[in-house]
Amino acid sequence: MSYVLVVAEVRRGIFEERNLDSIGLCALLGKDAILLIPEGDYGMNEQLVNGLVRVKTEEALFLNPLNMVNILEKVMAARGKPDMIVFTNSASGIELASYAAGHFNLPVITDVNGYDKERGIFFKSYYSDKIFGEFRPSGEGTFIVTVRSGSFKENAAGKGSAPPAEAIEDVAANAARTFVEYVEEEKTDVDITKAEFLLSLGRGIGNKDEIPDYEELAGLLKAVISGSRPVIDKLWLPKARQVGTSGKTVKPKVYLAMGISGAFQHIAGMKDSSCIIAVNKDPEAPIFQYAHYGIIADIHKVRDALKGILKG
Amino acid sequence: MNLIVFTKRVPATQEEELRITGEGKAVDLSKVPFKVNDWDNYSIEEAVRIVEKSGGAVTAVSIGDAESDEVLRRSIAMGAKDGFLIETGDVLHDPNARATLMQNFLKKENVPFDAIFTGVQSEDDQFGAVGGILAAKLGLPFVSMVIGIDATESDHLIVRRELEGGLQERVKVMLPCVISIQTGINEPRYVSIMGVRKASKVERKVFKAAGYQENVVNKIEVVKWVYPPKKAGATILSGELDGMCKELLGILKEKGVYQ
Ligand SMILES: Cc1cc2nc3c(=O)[nH]c(=O)nc-3n(C[C@H](O)[C@H](O)[C@H](O)COP(=O)(O)OP(=O)(O)OC[C@H]3O[C@@H](n4cnc5c(N)ncnc54)[C@H](O)[C@@H]3O)c2cc1C
């Protein structure tokens, strides 16, 4: 029977919310979703899927791409080839998906954020969301996608009954890559998630020497400073200040973004702010799509003008 | 340790207005400046640091047109020993096609390595898939999102991979392996124009991609390029700079974050 295999992302006992986007895509395609998940109590709503395959293995082994291909081999031997295998578009989802694509020699489209059912087309972002490519597999047969968080979850709907479950056992563990431990981020005294007003700086500030002038502006506005990933990568601001998927998720009353383009990994971390104000010299910057207010201008000039007014 | 680092020349589109041409057939990049993929800059730096500490050599490899020589010169200026260009005029959108070309090249040219580094993704297509596909094709262990290399031993590496929300995972991976490097793993050294000029005296080898085409097929196809659907979008403030800034302060007052 035709089906889509949804590889669940679970970590430290949690069924990640973004799995709903993978399930939602199946609903949009009108295909049965079979969820592949390690054995354990993940407290998810099982009625969202048409079937479950529980893998008798530890979570860390399940999340290891070298073992995942063995698991997938077993699933396909038992159930036949799926029409599609769906992963989340996360650190682990992309890692698993790409390795499985190489191992099974399957087409892969990552970071899918839309689907046109009539034309059988997947939308994928290019150039930091300035352009979308309409993609499809070139031939027939199984293909792999990873799904951008937030894209399809509203399509996930309960089926009204508990789905049948199968089990997979005796998964060989590959010793070439092994989990050692989790490493938590160091605790610091600033907590940008608690701030009501964030002045967030992006790569557009140009260089580290500009930081003190923005700190002065933040002081005058009584705002807390945060930043996009490149600003943290370049050590212009400490890691605790990073907003986005690999940093913090923030929901301040006001998020004032200066020189930030609006890549989805950044947007995911701030889109629920009550009011987003973006300053950027590029009128096409994707951040203006998410902002409530925008100023198209040079950020340094805006900074200096604001300082001028505030200092009276 | 001998390390191969794949590096790509990409359009720097962050500040550019992009135009789709030919009814969706192409994206006009003719006026866009090009640069090294940010992720590869960190990969080269990481590889060079490892050989500076424990010996061996870094080979930078790029797939692209003749202009991609630029990122090889840059890699050599940073400390790579060799620069290889797999020359092709075609843009390979399918990560499977790219990884297969790499696999064929490494096999045919018999390039020795203990580990292969790629960037987590390239900025232009954001696929993030080439490293994983290549690893599986070569039958090697793979780790992506590497944000720290804690130990380099003769038969394995201990690396930290970045997950979401600041969490990291420490992983042991046996050599040889493929790892994909995340930005922020190090502070890439500054490359001066003088340095690049000096590097251009080191010979870079050019290999025609035509020689490595076995099984290089597009498993996915681009039907069309489109602009992202517009959302409601922001209310854009207008007028003189001072006026806009006063309006901005008014909004901050209204939202209750500034008196
Ligand atoms: C696995 C993974 C995880 C990631 N996690 C995160 C994350 O947690 N957080 C995050 O932010 N990113 C993250 N990223 C990176 C993300 O994809 C983008 O690269 C990043 O968000 C871009 O940051 P930016 O907007 O500051 O820089 P850019 O995209 O370079 O944008 C700079 C902007 O500044 C504008 N600008 C430049 N100069 C001026 C000026 N003088 N005046 C006005 N405007 C100007 C430009 O027009 C441009 O829009 C992640 C990426 C990956 C692959």
CATH, domain B2-212, list 3.40.190.80, 3.40.50.620, 3.40.30.10, 3.40.50.200: 3.40.50.620
pTM of the entire structure? 0.96
Helix, strand, coil tally for chain A in percent (to 5): 30, 30, 40
Residue with CA closest to ligand 1 atom 3: A246
Residues A146 and A241 in one domain: no
Residues A196 and A278 in one domain: yes
Q: Name which of A184-188, A212-216, A274-278, B185-189 the model is least confident about.
A: A184-188
The nearest alpha carbon in chain B to A290 belongs to B233
Residues A46 and A154 in one domain: yes
Structure tokens at B219: 């498993």
Residues A156 and A62 in one domain: yes
- Percentage of chain B exceeding pLDDT 70: 100
pLDDT surpassing 80 at residue A245: yes
Residues A14 and A149 in one domain: yes
**Among the listed residues B130, B182, B25, the one whose alpha carbon sits nearest the alpha carbon of residue A108:** B130
Instruction: Check which CATH number belongs to the domain holding A202 and give it.
Output: 3.40.50.1220
Ligand 1 mean position, distance from CA A25 (Å) = 28
Residues A122 and A34 in one domain: yes
CA gap B170, A81 in Å, rounded: 33
What is the number of domains present in chain A? Answer: 2
Residues A162 and A221 in one domain: no
Predicted local distance difference test score (pLDDT) of residue A187: 82
Instruction: Check which CATH number belongs to the domain holding A123 and give it.
Output: 3.40.50.620
Q: How confident is the model at residue A266 (pLDDT cuts 50, 70, 90)?
A: very high
CA gap A241, A195 in Å, rounded: 11
Amino acid at A96: L
In Å, what is the CA distance from B108 to each residue of A20, B6, B133, B209, B216? 44, 17, 18, 12, 14
**Last residue of a domain, which of A168, A184, A202?**
A168
Q: Is residue A215 part of a domain?
A: yes
Residue of A148, A207, A280 with the most ligand 1 atoms within 8 Å of its CB, for mutation: A280
- Give the residue ranges of DSSP H helices in A30-147: 59-62, 65-79, 91-104
**Last residue of a domain, which of A153, A168, A183?**
A168
Q: Is residue A143 part of a domain?
A: yes
The nearest alpha carbon in chain B to A179 belongs to B171
Buried b (16+ CB within 10 A) or exposed e, A50-76: bbbbbbebbbbbbbbbbbbbbbbebbe
Residues A164 and A202 in one domain: no
Residues A54 and A137 in one domain: yes
Amino acid at A260: I
Q: Is residue A119 part of a domain?
A: yes
Domain boundaries, chain B: 2-212, 232-259
Structure tokens at A264: 């989805």
Distance from CA of A107 to the nearest CA of B (A): 5
The helix (run of H) or strand (run of E) holding residue A289 is helix A287-290
Region A164-168: what's the mean pLDDT? 95
Whether ligand 1 lies within 6 angstroms of the CB of A203 is answered as yes
**Partners of B85 in the beta sheet?**
B62, B206
Region B122-134: what's the mean pLDDT? 97
pLDDT tens by residue, B42-97: 999 999 999 999 999 999 999 999 999 999 999 999 999 999 999 999 889 999 99
Ligand 1 mean position, distance from CA A260 (Å) = 5
Q: Are B161 and A182 in contact (CB under 8 A)?
A: no
pLDDT surpassing 80 at residue A1: no
Region A119-130: what's the mean pLDDT? 95
**ipTM field:** 0.97
Q: Is residue A273 part of a domain?
A: yes
Q: Are A146 and A87 in contact (CB under 8 A)?
A: yes
Asked whether the beta carbons of residue A106 and residue B237 sit closer than 8 angstroms, the reply is no
Residues A140 and A236 in one domain: no
The helix (run of H) or strand (run of E) holding residue B220 is strand B220-226
Residue with CA closest to ligand 1 atom 48: A261
Mean pLDDT value across chain A: 96
Residue to mutate among A144, A217, A233, with most B CBs inside 10 A, is: A233
**Last residue of a domain, which of A108, A134, A168?**
A168
Asked whether the beta carbons of residue B167 and residue A108 sit closer than 8 angstroms, the reply is no
Q: Is residue A186 part of a domain?
A: no
Q: Are A302 and A288 in contact (CB under 8 A)?
A: no
**Among the listed residues A99, A70, A84, A263, the one whose alpha carbon sits nearest the alpha carbon of residue A171:** A70
pLDDT surpassing 90 at residue B259: no
DSSP code of residue A208: G
Domain that holds residue A280: 192-311
Distance from CA of A101 to the nearest CA of B (A): 6
Q: How confident is the model at residue A186 (pLDDT cuts 50, 70, 90)?
A: confident
